[in-house]
Amino acid sequence: MQNDNSESRRKFLRQIGATSLAVAASPLSSLAAREKAEERILHYERKISANDKVRVGVIGYGVQGHFDLGTALKVPGVELAGICDLYTGRLENAKEKFGAELYTTRNYKELLGRKEVDAVIIATTDCWHSRITQDALAAGKHVYVEKPMVYKIDQGYDVITASKKSGKVLQVGSQRVSSIGYAKAKELLAAGEIGKLNMVNAVYDRQSSIGAWEYTIPKDASAETTDWNKFIEVTDKMA
C-alpha cells in the first residue's frame, strides 16, 4: 500500500510540474492556455443533468467581468441572461459577441428585476460591491461577487445579514480559491497522497504591463457613452 501511495504521489507531482512548465512557457495574457493545461489533468467530477440550468446576469462587464463570464459559461447548464454596464461600448461589444437579442442595460436594478435571472456575477468597481450584493440577494438572486466583498470593513455585517436572510448562495471570488486544482490538492493531502506538508509556496507573475492592470481609457469615453453620475453615486456615502 505504501508503494502505491508513493507512486500516486510521484505521478501527481509530475503532473503539477508539467502544468507549471506550461504556465511558465506561456505569456501572462494567455489565460486560456493555462486553463487548458489545468483541464488536461483535472476534471469536474459532478455530473450535470439536462435539467440543471442556471441563467446568469453580469453586472460590470469589464476585464474581470469578461473573465468571470467566460469561465461560468464553460460549466454545463449555465446560460447568459443579460449584462449591465455603465459604458455603452461594453454593452455593444456584448451584443456583438452573444447576439443582438441579448438583454443589456445601464441600470443593474432592471437586470435584478428580470425573473429569468437566477444568479448574478458582480464585477464592478469595488465601492459598489456591497450595495449591489445586498440588492441582488434581496431580489432573490444567487451572487458571485468579486473581491473585495466590501469596500469598508463595517459594510461586511450588512452583507452577511442579507445573505443569511435571503437563503441564497453568496460566493466571493478570490484568486484561484475555488480552483479545481486547489480542491484536488486538498483531497490528495487529506488522503495522505502528498505526505506531511511542511510548506506551501505560491507565486504569480505580475511583471508586465498587463499584470499591473493598467488599462487605457476608451477613446469614445464621454458623458454620453458612460453614466458617470451613476458611477460616482455611491461614493457620496463613502466620504
Block mean pLDDT (10 aa), the chain, length 239? 52 47 42 49 60 92 93 92 97 96 98 97 96 98 96 95 97 80 86 88 65 75 92 78
pLDDT for 210 equals: 59
pLDDT tens per residue, range 126-167: 999 999 999 999 999 999 999 999 999 999 999 999 999 999
Sequence-distant (6+) residues with CB within 8 A of 165 are 137
- For the chain, the maximum distance between any two Cα atoms, rounded to a whole number of angstroms, is 69
Calculate ∠ Cα 142-177-26, nearest 5°: 120
Query: Using an 8 Å Cβ cutoff, are 111 and 134 in contact?
Result: no
Ordered by where they begin, the domains of the chain are 2-42+179-190 (no CATH), 54-174+214-237 (3.40.50.720)
Q: What is the pLDDT of residue 68?
A: 94
Q: Of 174, 176, 182, 204, whose CA–CA distance to 16 is shortest?
A: 182
Radius of gyration for the alpha carbons in the chain, expressed in angstroms and rounded: 20
Instruction: Give the pTM.
Output: 0.72
- Is residue 58 within 8 A of residue 117, CB to CB? The reply is no
Residue 176 φ/ψ region, left for φ over 0, alpha for ψ in the -120 to 50 degree band, beta for the rest: left
pLDDT value at position 211? 58
Give the per-residue pLDDT at 179: 75
> What pLDDT is recorded for position 194?
87
| Per-residue model confidence (pLDDT) at position 175 | 72
Is 202 strand, coil or helix?
coil
